[in-house]
Amino acid sequence: EAQVTQNPRYLITVTGKKLTVTCSQNMNHEYMSWYRQDPGLGLRQIYYSMNVEVTDKGDVPEGYKVSRKEKRNFPLILESPSPNQTSLYFCASRTLGYGYTFGSGTRLTVV
Amino acid sequence: AQSVTQLDSQVPVFEEAPVELRCNYSSSVSVYLFWYVQYPNQGLQLLLKYLSGSTLVKGINGFEAEFNKSQTSFHLRKPSVHISDTAEYFCAVSGPSNFGNEKLTFGTGTRLTIIP
């Protein structure tokens, strides 16, 4: 089944403790992206990747890092999480024809 | 830069009544338009998309939308809603851009509540 898999689904952590949210797709898509969803703000792009080793900032990149060492994986790294990064995170991948596929989301709480 | 405005944050509708969720966009270039649905505690599912061609687009679950270039709108409609349509709906725009980041720009969402 074609899908984008994120892990974990839920995560509670403390301020300053580094964490990684994983994202993997099995569709051989070149383009991948991370979004965060906040009430009243919709979804905003954090980072994106056009292909392996090619990444760039989206609209709200502060406090986040990404890497793209393999085509299928695009982890989101929070080096020093803060409470304002409490949010619902989505990974997405895209193929030609604008077929975006989203993961099921990761709900992160930073206390 | 592209932007999307969803004019209603919440829409209550009686079961079997028609519904229209409004979406307006702004863009300096040609656009591709999407509607996504998010059911409680789930990810985003594509309802329909407009890339080119006929301005009336039909999607899943009986939804349709009409692209109106002169009014820069892409309103979502369903003639008769069901309890199972209770969800949050997001309008999004994408299109050609510099550097290839053809990202989705989302509206703030409309929460559709179906009243039995």
Q: Is the pLDDT of residue A15 over 90?
A: yes
The answer to whether B103 and B94 have CB atoms below 8 angstroms apart is yes
**Test mutation, A100, A101, A104, A106, chain B, max B CBs within 10 A:** A100
Determine whether the interchain pair B101/A97 forms a contact, defined as Cβ–Cβ distance below 8 Å.
no
- Helix (H), strand (E) at residue B39: none
Q: What is the mean pLDDT of chain A?
A: 93
A66-90 residue pLDDT tens: 999 999 999 999 999 999 999 999 9
The whole-number pLDDT of residue B100 equals 59
**What distance lies between CA A17 and its chain's CA centroid?**
18
Q: Is the pLDDT of residue B99 over 80?
A: no
Q: Is the pLDDT of residue B73 over 90?
A: yes
The whole-number pLDDT of residue A98 equals 66
Amino acid letter, residue A51? N
The answer to whether A51 and A71 have CB atoms below 8 angstroms apart is yes
User: Measured between CA atoms, how close is A41 to chain B, in angstroms?
Assistant: 5
Question: What mean pLDDT is predicted for residues B38-63?
Answer: 91
The whole-number pLDDT of residue A95 equals 74
Q: Is the pLDDT of residue A11 over 60?
A: yes
